[in-house]
Chain A
């Protein structure tokens, strides 16, 4: 393998090692907590086990990536500029974090408070059913607080800034994965430029520095979408497994992650249904495999949640009656979320550029691009509207103002992938390519 190929595989290993390693480690910690065995020694044990799993996974991944796609293509200068731009934003988020780590409201009332509890042995089980603590969302998954708790436990005076740096680290892992994944499809230059573009969407770096769970969730959701795209394009089994594991990581990071994971699995299964190159049984088994992979990480939490039913806040019961009663909110919700997308300080022209590209290319998008479009419409359509129909806030519009940007952050990496697909479709038009070229998904035996 060439040096460029090795660098790409290394970027992928680092990104996956961080994302899946963190999710696996915190899931193990949660099992230890449930078993009443969460302590210093057992935390070290869980860390050792995680590192061993990550190392063996990295070896297996390196073997499968030996016959990679053409990652050499693309000018080196473009690659250098793209990566430098991406790293500049990670540095900016790091600087913002270190100025005042975990100082914004949810970062300490919701996530940091739980981290403190777990750093001191974990809360009593009554915490999850205590109405007085409902404003701290006991029903939220614990991936981020358990990771922060470990840093608070062992970090000493550096624990707090280190816990704050989890956000920028997740941003870095996301950018590495975007770079590595798109390198396999479009070459290094294009991939680096895409990673740089993603990094410069203002709200992504902003929320990475705030200590909220939205950028970690964006990392899992975006990376899972990326591996779905890689599966559609390259049909490698390892990509489906990684997609499933990352979707599970999303479900273990934030409540919305469950919806995102469900959408990913549904779109994956839809793609399998439309395939004509495999038997029905094989396609069914393929979908079941993804579901099983998605359950690996969040299973302890899902079981705990089903048994304990932790108390939540902010929402009325999710019943058809409540939906019908508050359906009249939908036009206002759509209007306010649309207005949020146009908020320049939050998004620059990201959503405008995507909308413009889609208007130009929607009829020429490859089947993979259409799949991504369905996924994005599902994610934004469901997650940015339904929660507000059920919102218990008064007025509910305040709920939208306070959270719509964070819900959109979770969809940003997926939107970037779609943006690249749209650019690809546009570049194949005769006006750019000279004459129409076939769509990308052509394969040949290696």
Chain B
């Protein structure tokens, strides 16, 4: 029966006009505040959720280390630095298929210059990378106190070190 039937609109021209006007009114009620808000966004677009420098650093790391390397990410405990909570999940995402682990270093201390994350001692970097059978350690916004010979990358606020086995 479906193919042999079709809708016949029983609207009068007057109610059809009314329908259009009513919907146009509803549309205006919705669109005007939206347009006002969007003009604000167009004038001052929101900044990026992930710092661009972090992404640039991880892109360089991605091209520097082998595809099946294991990596340990050091982040300060407590998330006292801007975006420090993003470093490990972002490294997991950008460095896939590598295995990426996270080790929390000492919490930040308050100094005259504000909150500062203490550098991660070389001995600790070695212990944790060995324990996790990882060849690389990295940090962003946090200093790794490693000897100059093992530093593979130091750019865009990040640092990559290679730990010999």
Question: Which A residues between 420 and 438 are near B, CB-CB below 8 angstroms?
Answer: 420, 423-424, 426-428, 432-434, 437-438
Complex-state Cα separation, A386 to B15, whole angstroms: 41
Contacts of A348 in B (CB 8 A): 29-34, 37
* Contact code string A183-203 (vs B, CB < 8 Å = 1, else 0): 011110110011011001110
Please give me the residue from chain B that is nearest to A202 by CB atom.
Answer: B34
Which among B30, B49, B89, B93 is the interface contact of A353 at CB below 8 angstroms?
A: B30
Complex-state Cα separation, A70 to B8, whole angstroms: 9
Stretch at the interface among A52-60, A105-113, A375-383, A391-399: A105-113
Assuming the contacts A185-B7, A446-B6, asked whether A113 and B96 have C-beta atoms less than 8 A apart, the reply is: yes
B35 at interface (Cβ–Cβ under 8 A)?
Answer: yes
Q: Is the CB of B30 within 8 A of A349?
A: yes
Contacts of B2 in A (CB 8 A): 234-237
A285 at interface (Cβ–Cβ under 8 A)?
Answer: no
A49 at interface (Cβ–Cβ under 8 A)?
Answer: no
A69 at interface (Cβ–Cβ under 8 A)?
Answer: yes
Please give me the residue from chain B that is nearest to A438 by CB atom.
Answer: B10
A62 at interface (Cβ–Cβ under 8 A)?
Answer: no
Assuming the contacts A99-B45, A445-B4, asked whether A200 and B10 have C-beta atoms less than 8 A apart, the reply is: no
* Contact code string B1-19 (vs A, CB < 8 Å = 1, else 0): 1111111111110111011
- Which of B2, B20, B26, B33 has the most chain A CB atoms closer than 10 A to its own CB? B26
Contacts of A187 in B (CB 8 A): 16
Complex-state Cα separation, A439 to B26, whole angstroms: 22
Complex-state Cα separation, A113 to B91, whole angstroms: 11
Assuming the contacts A193-B27, A197-B31, asked whether A78 and B18 have C-beta atoms less than 8 A apart, the reply is: no
Contacts of A345 in B (CB 8 A): 37
Contacts of A69 in B (CB 8 A): 6-7
Q: Is the CB of A443 within 8 A of B5?
A: yes
Please give me the residue from chain B that is nearest to A349 by CB atom.
Answer: B29
Q: Is the CB of A420 within 8 A of B23?
A: yes
Q: Is the CB of A445 within 8 A of B5?
A: yes
What residues make up the interface of B, taking CB atoms closer than 8 Å to A?
Answer: 1-12, 14-16, 18-20, 22-24, 26-27, 29-35, 37-38, 41-42, 45, 48-50, 89-90, 92-93, 96-97
Q: Please provide the 3 A-B residue pairs with the shortest distance between their CB atoms, ordered closest to farther.
A: A433-B15, A432-B18, A427-B19
| Apart from the given pairs A113-B96, A442-B10, 19 other A-B contacts in the complex at a CB distance below 8 Å | A64-B3, A100-B49, A103-B48, A104-B49, A113-B92, A113-B93, A186-B9, A189-B20, A200-B34, A200-B35, A235-B2, A348-B33, A348-B37, A427-B18, A428-B11, A428-B15, A434-B14, A437-B10, A446-B5
